[in-house]
Amino acid sequence: MAMAWPDTDELAQVLNIAPDEAVDDWQTTLDRVMAAGIAKVKSDVGLWGATDEDTPPDSLAQAALRMAELIASRPSDPANGRDPTYVTLLTGYRRRFGIG
């Protein structure tokens, strides 16, 4: 099942940012963090092109939300891309693999 990428409202819920006025205060930052999470998923999947229509399957949408949560809570942690939940959500979708 394909769905849309998560939005900043969903990220605010995951990060437990409330009330709505607090979300409004952080809107620009939340937008950037969510965009970074989506970009990381697209990069890790590899070869994301115009033909992919930008409608991810549920697990990739959830991976983007998880990555955004990690970026927001631990922005300088180099292990974010190796988070077990994130890696599990990407399983079966990678089109590009590193040369070991």
Mean pLDDT of 71-93: 93
d(CA 79, CA 37): 14
Residue at token pair 């990428």? 5
Task: Read off the pLDDT of residues 19-71 as tens digits, 9 standing for 90 and up.
Answer: 888 888 999 999 999 999 999 999 998 867 666 567 889 999 999 999 999 99
Kindly report the pTM of this predicted structure: 0.86
Point out which residues pair with 2 in neighbouring strands.
57
